[in-house]
Amino acid sequence: MDLTLKIWRQQDARSKGKFATYQIKGISADCSFLEMLDQLNEQLVRENSDPVSFTTCPVAFDHDCREGICGMCGLYINGRPHGPDTGITTCQLHMRKFKDGDVIVIEPWRSKAFPLIKDLLVDRTALDAIIQAGGYTSANTGGVPEANSILINKPDAEKAMDAAACIGCGACVASCANASAMLFVSAKVSHLNLLPQGKIEAYDRVKKMVKAMDKLGFGNCSNTYACEAECPKEINVSNIARMNRQFFFAKIVED
């Protein structure tokens, strides 16, 4: 396939950014989206041994495992987080989803809470800060118990496992008109608060994590379900409703 790529280029957070257009040829339909970007960068290195501007240097983008696990590879592709496929991360997106001659527009996540570092690379440590605020269990439960010694009903166990599938990629934030992190936070709250080990600190946890979310500049839930639609792990918005109920009860207990 021969493609036209319009990629957001920005040298650093203080510089003015712009779209740069690149032509790339001979891309296999079987290669992944990130492999296509690798080939573009190899092309830029070959063509520009002495780059005249930052737009002729290789494109900076984030990635690690390339297996849909780490959540680092998030890109805004043709107006959608992670691209035109559903239930996958950018690294799992294959070029067969595009056609020969297509124009592909590639942007970074855009959110006040995700300051841009360079090109397609953003700082998502705000999500780590929310986890540090309360996304853990600190109650002393003694040694490691035998797996079946604490009985957990199957529906709650399944909901907790579904919520724990969140990889913190930030697609929910990128897809929300208000750049809300509610789906991410509710998933992290739910996967602990649904389990007996997490119930001890459930009210403190939800208050601390919501407070951290607000402080870091994320917006309010837009109630459009865009986050669920674009989540690569298909986290359900019912987690948001659950978190809101728990936050409400936590404030009543506090008062």
Domains of the chain: 3-118 (3.10.20.30), 125-140+147-254 (1.10.1060.10)
**Residue that the structure tokens 């780590």 belong to:** 128
What are the residue ranges of helices labelled H in 8-124? Answer: 33-47
The values of phi and psi at residue 39, to 5°, are: -65, -35
The model's confidence at residue 144, banded by pLDDT at 50, 70 and 90, is confident
Q: Per-residue pLDDT averaged across 171-197, rounded?
A: 95
Q: Cα dist. 120→77, 127, 189, 191, 220 in Å?
A: 11, 18, 29, 30, 25
Note the pLDDT of residue 52. Answer: 73
Distance separating the N- and C-terminal Cα atoms of the chain: 62
Structure confidence by residue, pLDDT tens digits, 88-139: 999 999 999 999 999 999 999 999 999 999 999 999 999 999 999 999 988 7
Note the pLDDT of residue 145. Answer: 72
Which two three-digit tokens encode residue 129?
A: 């800060």
Please report, as a single letter, which amino acid is at residue 150. Answer: I
Structure confidence by residue, pLDDT tens digits, 48-78: 877 778 899 999 999 999 999 999 999 999 9
Measured distance CA(220)–CA(180) in Å, rounded: 5
